Amino acid sequence: MSQPTIESILQEKRLFQPPAEFSQKAHIKSLDEYQELYDKAKADPQKFWADLAEKELHWFQKWDTVLDWQPPFAKWFVGGKMNISYNCLDRHLTTWRRNKAALIWEGEPGDSRTLTYAQLHREVCQFANVLKQLGVKKGDRVGIYMPMIPEAAIAMLACARIGATHTVVFGGFSAEALRDRLIDGQAKLVVTADGGWRKDGIVPLKDQVDIALANNAVPTVENVLVVKRTAQQIQMEPDRDHWWHDLQQGVSADCPAEPMDSEDMLFILYTSGSTGKPKGVVHTTAGYNLYTHMTTKWIFDLQDTDVYWCTADVGWITGHSYIVYGPLSNGATTLMYEGAPRASNPGCFWDVIEKYGVNIFYTAPTAIRAFIKMGEHLPKARNLSSLRLLGTVGEPINPEAWMWYYRVIGGERCPIVDTWWQTETGGVMITPLPGATPTKPGSATRPFPGILADVVDLEGNTIGDNEGGYLVVKHPWPGMMRTVYGDPDRFRRTYWEHIAPQDGQYLYFAGDGARRDEDGYFWVMGRVDDVINVAGHRLGTMEVESALVSHPAVAEAAVVGKPDEVKGEDVFAFVTLEGSYDPSDQLAKELKEHVVKEIGAIARPGEIRFTDAMPKTRSGKIMRRLLRSLASGQEVAGDTSTLEDRSVLDKLRGGA
Ligand code: PRX
């Protein structure tokens, strides 16, 4: 099973209506209701968002201006004061939700914990006071490098509470990748754990932090806070390192939420692009709060009795928006799972659904494809009847995988929301609303109300139905990224200068190709830049190339995505060696490990092919299109006349 092709999805004509029983109880009950909201938002976006901001969120002080738009820089709810941790916690305490489960956590070795809103509030306040005692102030940056344990969410909310900016780094990233991100964000403090359980082993997070900070490589970091999770042996550096449980003990649980300006920075999250090092995507307070709140409420159709489970890691945007902020702002019960399916327990996801009676389940197509391989006897052996809604995110879902998800996991009764969005967009942009939108397998369907999405050519002209083009957004939205941390020019160049402005209107360029069908449904085809999507993880090919070239044996490297049955794409690297090195299996293995050390296991090349030379144009540009064809074993099609040396191609075909 592979990624959808234009041909396969053009033939996809199946249409699934929302079940009547679902629609009756849903927040948005019909396509007409969706259309009405969509039209209202389109006619007056500012009024649409302002009305929702007033109704759905708590404000210490109301804004003066809804939107200040100096393209490409947007400010939402200017002059307003609020705090997202207040919206996620305090405001629920005066309601019956006070003793409702806020966070249900299932640990990998089978331990578990439930925190009510009152308990989560208490822990967050205490940890916020710990941060203050260590000198963390409003505006400081805090690095969070954690396993999937409640303390990760507690640390995020505690930062938000005192106005510190968090920068969560996925626990699967290497020490080198962590160091780069901490340096770029000038983190003052790092929160980590002694280790995290992962697939029957331990990820030595604290050891990685030690390597990242060695030799004062990140001089801004003053303190490291360590959660005891695995109790393995670690080094504690005097004065710098402290145990979370030591400092949390006896600390006051009284810590009022700091009134933050709407546009104060909430977090930085690094993501890969087609050029240079990863970008620090900046999200701010009020717009992000509103956007994640509304999208969670309407797309997952949250009801107060639901147990909601998003399987992402908090190290990614999906974890930020749809494990922590969106669900908690809505007063939902959000489930966090430390584990991942593995050979010794391939049915663990289905066990979790049965154990907690999960109602809403949100995962990635790569996981679904892996489940298909593991066999439907695993989910069939569990009681999944509590499920009422399914979601997917991270990459295009092929119609076969969609159908399997619908039939085997959803029992043909659960709508599926295929949600298209990005780190940069803050929240979901194109998606069905489950009680309203008929779905087509493989299509993310239609834009969320307030999102003016389009498919255009490079001149910015809307293109015809069923023709491929670039996916763009035409009007600012509250959850959009505000800038690249420390590099506003890069923000402008990356997202706003690829497509010509239309009638003075700037278009946000997502980097994805898409097609819109005759019903106005969007079919996202994947990246149009040098970004690959490996198991739902976004990787810049240039990042992997830089990692390879930093090895002394490598003269030149070109990385492309190779279609993969389960991961969607896999990393395929063409490598030219320095004169004194000879190709060998041993060296290929060493280079793969080198990439893991530089970036993390998610970037490990599936294959390395040694070559004497790269196929280049006369002006010296590597012809990636040819390499992509070669990697996927296809015949090289299209124009090769610009190739400088045609014999290179023959050699590459032979795998020289
Ligand atoms: O190519 C699109 C793909 O994932 C990219 C965004 O990656 P990231 O910032 O890591 O965020 C992932 C989680 C939001 C997009 O540019 N993508 C994400 N969701 C979908 C998708 N492609 C097709 N369909 C989706 N539902």
| pLDDT over 90 at 436, yes or no | yes
In angstroms, the CA 151 to CA 120 distance is: 10
pLDDT level of residue 1 (50, 70, 90 thresholds) = very low
At 6 the pLDDT is: 61
State if residue 594 touches ligand 1 by the CB under 6 angstroms criterion.
no
Distance of CA 628 to the CA centre of its chain: 25
- Report percent pLDDT > 70 for the chain: 98
User: Which tokens hold the place of 235?
Assistant: 């080094």
At 649 the pLDDT is: 81
| pLDDT over 70 at 655, yes or no | no
State if residue 512 touches ligand 1 by the CB under 6 angstroms criterion.
yes
At 654 the pLDDT is: 65
At 10 the pLDDT is: 63
**Alpha carbon of 584 to ligand 1 centroid (Å):** 36
At 55 the pLDDT is: 98
pLDDT level of residue 632 (50, 70, 90 thresholds) = confident
- Report percent pLDDT > 90 for the chain: 87
State if residue 428 touches ligand 1 by the CB under 6 angstroms criterion.
no
At 650 the pLDDT is: 79
Mutate to test the pocket of ligand 1, among 269, 512, 569, 602 (most ligand atoms within 8 A of CB): 512
Mean pLDDT of the chain: 95
Distance of CA 235 to the CA centre of its chain: 32
**Alpha carbon of 421 to ligand 1 centroid (Å):** 5
Q: In sequence order, what are the residues at sequence separation of 6 or more whose Cβ sits closer than 8 angstroms to the Cβ of residue 525?
A: 4, 6, 396, 468, 512, 513, 514, 515
At 656 the pLDDT is: 41
State if residue 444 touches ligand 1 by the CB under 6 angstroms criterion.
yes
pLDDT level of residue 7 (50, 70, 90 thresholds) = low
State if residue 632 touches ligand 1 by the CB under 6 angstroms criterion.
no
Other residues' Cβ atoms within 10 Å of the Cβ of residue 172: 18
Q: Report residue 221: phi and psi, to 5°.
A: -75, 120
SS3 content of the chain, % helix, strand, coil (to 5): 35, 25, 40
In angstroms, the CA 613 to CA 579 distance is: 12
| pLDDT over 70 at 645, yes or no | yes
What H or E segment, with its residue span, contains residue 175?
Answer: helix 175-185
pLDDT tens across 260-308, in order?
999 999 999 999 988 778 999 999 999 999 999 999 999 999 999 999 9
**Alpha carbon of 511 to ligand 1 centroid (Å):** 10
* Residue carrying the six token digits 């959808």: 4
| pLDDT over 60 at 513, yes or no | yes
Q: Identify the CA nearest to 145 among candidates 506, 564, 600, 486.
A: 600
In angstroms, the CA 418 to CA 399 distance is: 11
| pLDDT over 60 at 2, yes or no | no
- The protein residue whose alpha carbon is closest to atom 23 in ligand 1 is 396
At 198 the pLDDT is: 84
State if residue 422 touches ligand 1 by the CB under 6 angstroms criterion.
yes
What H or E segment, with its residue span, contains residue 288?
Answer: helix 285-299
At 3 the pLDDT is: 56
**Among the atoms of ligand 1, which is closest to the Cα of residue 428?**
14
At 623 the pLDDT is: 87
Distances (CA, A) of 287 to 74, 75, 162, 632: 10, 8, 18, 42
pLDDT tens across 459-472, in order?
999 999 999 999 99
Judged by DSSP in three states, 389 sits in strand
pLDDT tens across 547-581, in order?
999 999 999 999 999 999 999 999 999 999 999 99
Of 4 and 77, more confident: 77
Q: Identify the CA nearest to 130 among candidates 5, 14, 295, 249.
A: 249
Q: In sequence order, what are the residues at sequence separation of 6 or more whose Cβ sits closer than 8 angstroms to the Cβ of residue 211?
A: 175, 179
State if residue 393 touches ligand 1 by the CB under 6 angstroms criterion.
yes
